[in-house]
Amino acid sequence: MSHYEVKAGPEAFLPPAAATMGNVLPDPGEAHIGGKIVPEEEAYEHAARKILGAKVPTIFPGPLVLWKWNDHVAAKATAIRELANEVPMRLIPMADYRPKYPKIDAAVEINPNHPNLTIWHNKIDVCIFIGVHCHQANLALKMIRASTSCYTMAMCAMAGHEDACLSFRDADLEKIQRLTAAIKKLKAEGVEVQANSFTQFQMDRSGFVVEPVN
């Protein structure tokens, strides 16, 4: 049995991949919290509490939900926006996976090759990966665990991520909406949002339409 708990870092110069420590991915209907397999229902509430308790909760949407390559994805993107608005959470995209040289603009993007720069710059304490290809998400999740104190979550459309502190699997539109519902429920029960106020940036091809303001 594995005893490796996947916690927020900073963990080590080069932390291990959780799978090589014996952590296994959840089966359908399950999720994991810290490496422990739990019923999916339990993970919604845990994730919602983490998000509501964070100063800078952030969603990192990846290419799989940023581009409308089918109608289901468009609906998912709308649900992600609703999830972000419910808290509110920042939206910082991982639009592609190229290393950014000479320097990433950490205020408005995250990259799997140096994700810690975005976490540090924005002081992000809780994040969710949605729509990031699994390989790139795992790279980023390990590096975030290595050198930041950010609590990581993954809403994975495939099999989930052991390298996140919490992971759902088979995350479709309904599961994103269930997370939003879990947040609404806790708020209705009196759990207060701890997030710092901010202005969500907006960009078009010419640059900022609305600049980020913390």
Partner 1 sequence: MNKQVELKGKRVIASKHVKLGQKNRKGQTYTDINDIFYKAEQTPNFLTGSEVIKEAIRRASVGTSVAYPITPQSEAAALIGELYAEDYLDEYFRGESEFAVMGQCAGASFGGHRVFTTTAGPGTLRAMENFPMWAGSRLPIQVCVTCRGINSPLSIQPDTLEMHYLLETGMLVWHAETAQDLYDYILKGFIVAEQPDVHVPIAVCCDGFFVTHTKDTVDLSPEELCLTPYNPYESPVTCMDMEIAPYRMMRDPFVMKSNYINYSTHASWQQEIKAAVERSRKHTIALLDGLIDEQNSDREILIVTSGTAVSQSREAIRLLEEEGIKVGLVKIKTVRPFPYEEIKRATKHAKHIFVPEFNVAGWMAREIKSTIPDNERVYCGPHVAGGMTMPSEVIVEEIKTHLGIKTAQNSR
Q: Which is nearer to partner 1, 98 or 205 (CB)?
A: 98
106 token code pair: 């950490």
- Which H or E run contains 140? helix 134-147
Is residue 15 exposed (0-12), middle (13-18) or buried (19+ Cβ within 10 Å)? buried
Q: State the nearest-atom distance from the C-beta of 20 to partner 1, in Å.
A: 5
Binding mask 36-65 for partner 1 (x = CB under 8 A): ---------------------------x--
Q: Residues touching partner 1: how many (CB under 8 A)?
A: 39
SS3 of 76, please? helix
> What is the C-alpha separation between 200 and 214, in angstroms, rounded?
9
Phi-psi region of 46 (alpha: psi -120 to 50; beta: other; left: phi over 0): alpha
212 binds partner 1 (CB under 8 A): no
State which of positions 157-196 bind partner 1 (CB under 8 A).
158-160, 162-163
96 binds partner 1 (CB under 8 A): yes
207 binds partner 1 (CB under 8 A): no
The beta strand positions in the chain, using DSSP E, are 30-33, 36-39, 57-61, 90-91, 126-130, 151-155, 166-168, 202-204, 207-210
List 71, 99, 204, 205, residue binding partner 1 (CB under 8 A): 99
List residues binding partner 1 (CB under 8 A): 1-2, 14, 16-20, 22-25, 27-28, 63, 96-99, 101, 112-114, 116-117, 133-136, 138-139, 142-143, 146, 158-160, 162-163
